[in-house]
Amino acid sequence: MAGRDNLKKRKIAVLGSRSVGKSSLVVQFTENHFVESYYPTIESAFRKTVGYNGTQYECEIIDTAGQDEYSLLSAKHAIGIHGYVLVYSVTSRKSFDMIQIVYDKIIDFCGVMDIPCVIVGSKMDLQQSRQVEASEGEQLAVANKAAWVETSAKNNLNVGNVFEMCLAEIEKHTPQPEPNPDGRKGCFIM
């Protein structure tokens, strides 16, 4: 396996309202266990090497404090970030409505038209408390040119898919070097 310095590095920010399952999602992905208790996160960073499409990536995953409509987007959640995971709970209409607000704040802060992003409906294991239909999540993702998936950190459903989808979105937004038509390497001095 390639040394750590040879891995492609990707920084992913996980954002969303308070208590939607951001930390549970990240801990399940990076440490393979579910955290039952809720402890509000200030901010934590996790690392995991992920294989995607034949390439190894060293992912730094930033688990952020919960956002609300009055939260200011910090520069550290925009500058140097390669991709975003925006999480809402399928049991909370308010958290779902916050996703568009957070997305728009990122777009405004970064000054771009769209961002590499996965919109995640968490807590899909709580079907009896569902307030947001899957079709609504899909529609929001389409409207924002983002990927979408529902997950259950508790049951470890689609957790790895979230971060693979985020890497796919990052790669879609990353300019690929143009091939040299004559196959020669180097620079031209004119």
Domains in the chain, CATH or no CATH each: 4-173 (3.40.50.300)
Which sign does the torsion angle of CA 23, 48, 142, 75 carry?
positive
Return the structure tokens found at 101. Answer: 């607000």
> What are the tokens at 33?
């266990």
pLDDT score recorded for residue 177: 66
Mean pLDDT (10-residue bins), the chain, 190 residues: 72 95 96 85 90 94 83 76 97 97 92 95 98 98 98 98 97 75 58
Exposure of 42 in the CB half-sphere (CA atoms within 13 A): 0
pLDDT for position 1: 47
Amino acid 33: pLDDT: 94
Would you state the pLDDT for residue 67? 79
Gap between the Cα atoms of 174 and 69, Å rounded:
30
d(CA 66, CA 51): 29
